């Protein structure tokens, strides 16, 4: 059992560092990371059913590592998304994840995110039936029109 834990730790250690290297958020340093943050990051890495990881910093409460979107508006955050049941490895890190940054009050940022990431996933993906994809795409375009 100890060998399994050792193997798992060596598997996640490199990936945890890869995630941390991609964080460009003010106020976050290596010292900001607690054991709880590490466990949340490891849970995202090892549980392929978890699709979203969000990291952000608040001046009054410090670093947050969550597996869901924050309930309140934050100044800036970094997100990591993956398709369901995708295993993340160091070799497939870039191809198995989509990640980026969002800053507060940025409608333009949301528009870029929706247009550059979400919309291509829907329109170019082949996992949805064509009728559902067409209906969803029409609603998405209506939303993007209202956003602009």
Reported confidence tier of residue 40, pLDDT bands at 50, 70, 90: very high
Over the chain, what is the mean pLDDT?
A: 82
By C-alpha distance, which of 44, 112, 55, 56 is closest to 84? Answer: 44
- DSSP string covering 33-100: --HHHHHHHHHHHH-TT--EEEEEEETTTEEEEESS--SS--SEEEEEE--TTPPP-TTTHHHH-EEE
Structure tokens at 71: 């309930």
- Rounded to two decimals, the pTM is 0.66
The pLDDT tens digits for 66-84 are 999 888 888 888 999 998 8
């Amino acid at each position: 059992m100890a060998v399994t834990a050792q193997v798992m730790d060596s598997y996640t250690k490199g990936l945890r560092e890869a995630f941390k290297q991609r964080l460009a958020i003010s106020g976050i340093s290596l010292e900001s990371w607690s054991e709880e943050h590490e466990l949340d990051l490891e849970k995202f890495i090892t549980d392929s059913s978890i699709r979203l990881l969000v990291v952000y910093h608040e001046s009054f409460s410090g670093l947050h590592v969550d597996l869901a979107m924050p309930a309140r508006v934050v100044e800036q955050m970094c997100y990591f998304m993956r398709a369901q049941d995708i295993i993340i490895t160091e070799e497939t890190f870039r191809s198995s994840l989509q990640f980026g940054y969002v800053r507060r009050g940025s409608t333009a940022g949301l528009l870029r995110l929706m247009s550059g990431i979400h919309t291509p996933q829907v329109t170019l993906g082949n996992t949805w039936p064509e009728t559902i994809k067409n209906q969803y795409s029409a609603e998405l375009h209506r939303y993007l029109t209202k956003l602009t």
